[in-house]
Structure 1
Amino acid sequence: MAGHSKWANTKHRKGRQDAKKAKIFTKLARAITVASREGGQDPEYNTALANAIDKAKAENMPNDNIDRAIKKGAGGDNSENFETITYEGYGPNGTAFIVSCLTDNKNRTAADVRHYFSKFGGNLGSSGCVSYLFDRLGIIALELDESADEDEVMMEALENGADDVRIENGIAEIITAPENFSQVSNAYKNTDYKILGADISMIPQNEVSVTDEESIKLILKLIDHLEDNDDVQEIYHNCNLPEDAEL
């Protein structure tokens, strides 16, 4: 985990994400619908649904949209049979990417993802080619005010069941095992802490620093095109890009 900050390293994407809010809502609704269909509509007994709802709320998705997505899944409408597919590949400079998708047409999605990697200086690999470079972990990011006692924050997190805590630039990243994620994240709901994000993610064991301007542009274009695809739900990579990196 040394040197890695999930939230700090995604700052350069926020502007483009904000500009694509409607598309983000569509993806979030799809995830909620599938989770509701597969595990039931009560988030208390459906961890996948609870996590999907938390992500939607973090993006300020309206409650009406969330409720409609849950009801759509609970209604058992099988006209859209989505399945989860994960692709692994290499980006410029030997960087590693994992792309998680929800799709109703895996041939279309595979062709699209392969095209993006090929077009922007990378190549799609076989299953397992880069996943060994990542750890599946839960992360809860908290915004700390100036009066926060960092030692106290760390002790509190460990008492709540966290495995590790990383504090940098006023953000506490609380690391958990996936099976403890719900317990730890629930401990911070209805508290004075501002939760910046909470997710089970694929975290790189080591990052690849990319400073070459052309490689940075190719990586950002690859990420941008992947994000723009309706089937792509999550993108994980081990690129350490400058905070001011732009297309």
Structure 2
Amino acid sequence: MSGHSKWSTIKRKKGANDARRGKIFTRLIKEITVAARTGGGDPEGNPRLRAAIASAKAENMPKDNIARAIKKGTGEIAGEVYDEILYEGYGPGGVAVLVECMTDNRNRTVADVRHYFTKSNGNLGESGCVAWMFEKKGLILVDKETVSEEELMDHALEAGADDIIEEESEFQILTPPEDMDDVRSGLEEAGISFIEASISMIPKNTVDVTDEKVARSLLKLLENLEDHDDVQKVHANFDIDDELMEQLS
């Protein structure tokens, strides 16, 4: 879990500024649009759309924005058509990196992603080179200040969660992908709010990054990828201990 938890915590600490919030909205709008295009505009019959809407609401996205994105997906109003692409590669220190993209220009996106890997002494690999190191899971993040561990466990496990992991500032709830929506709904019914609810790629094992230079280069790679307009999510299987993280901060 370390790769996801470390990076997600870093992202949220950076996420207070308006520019980054705008990027979050852009990604959510893309996800809602593609979900509606592939599975229809009714969230009741489209779990992916239902999860995307829940994530958008968690980020306080206006209802009009959500409705407009759905209509773009169903073709009721004009909108871009995005291709979903998964890029795989190795970052500094041999860390495995997965990059989920939605793009209207494949050539532009792959060129930019390759450039970021090369610039950070990593390399973009072939399809399948690192995906086997990750497992698809439902992931729900809950702020530790909003609920006790005992209460969260009672509701989450009853709703079908596999595990709950305590991190520095959050609880991470892991679910089978097909059960994430039920667990999310169970939390909502119990009045428990969440930071994020999404299908994520969780590393099966992690690579310890202990060298400061390598760690800085790795985090810069992840940040560059996250900042790209075509990138939806970045997953990596690294672990950096708290002492080094403090130095990097």
Counterpart position of 2:73: 73
Q: CA RMSD in A?
A: 2.4
CA distance in 2, matches of 1:159, 1:144: 19
Q: Which runs of 5+ in 2 are unaligned?
A: none
Q: 1:217 to 1:38 in 2, by over 3 A?
A: same
CA distance in 1, matches of 2:79, 2:143: 42
CA distance in 2, matches of 1:147, 1:141: 12
Q: 1:145 to 1:78 in 2, by over 3 A?
A: closer
Give the conservation status (yes or no) of the 8 Å contact 2:155–2:187: no
Counterpart position of 1:235: 234
Alignment TM-score, normalising by the size of structure 2: 0.87
Counterpart position of 1:16: 14
Counterpart secondary structure, 1:185: helix
Counterpart position of 1:195: 194
Give the conservation status (yes or no) of the 8 Å contact 1:216–1:245: no
- Equivalences, count: 244
| TM-superposed deviation, 1:85 | 0.5
Q: 1:42 to 1:147 in 2, by over 3 A?
A: closer
Percent identity of paired positions between Structure 1 and Structure 2: 46
CA distance in 2, matches of 1:73, 1:180: 24
Paired residue type of 1:244? E
Paired residue type of 1:218? S
Give the conservation status (yes or no) of the 8 Å contact 2:3–2:239: no
CA distance in 1, matches of 2:3, 2:114: 28
Counterpart position of 1:133: 133
| TM-superposed deviation, 1:101 | 0.5
Counterpart position of 1:163: 162
Q: Which runs of 5+ in 1 are unaligned?
A: none
Paired residue type of 2:207? V
Q: 1:67 to 1:246 in 2, by over 3 A?
A: farther
**CA deviation vs aligned residue, 1:10-64 (integer Å, no higher than 9, x gap):** 2222243333221221221111111112211111111111121122222222222
CA distance in 1, matches of 2:115, 2:104: 18
Counterpart secondary structure, 1:193: coil
Counterpart secondary structure, 2:22: helix
Q: How does 1:1-247 map to 2 (within 5 A)?
A: 4=2, 6-7=4-5, 9-19=7-17, 20-75=20-75, 80-144=80-144, 148=148, 150=150, 153-169=152-168, 171-241=170-240, 242-244=244-246, 246=248
Paired residue type of 2:90? Y
| TM-superposed deviation, 1:220 | 1.7
Which structure has the highest helix share of the two?
A: 2
Paired residue type of 1:31? E
Q: Which stretch shifts more, 110-119 or 19-28?
A: 19-28
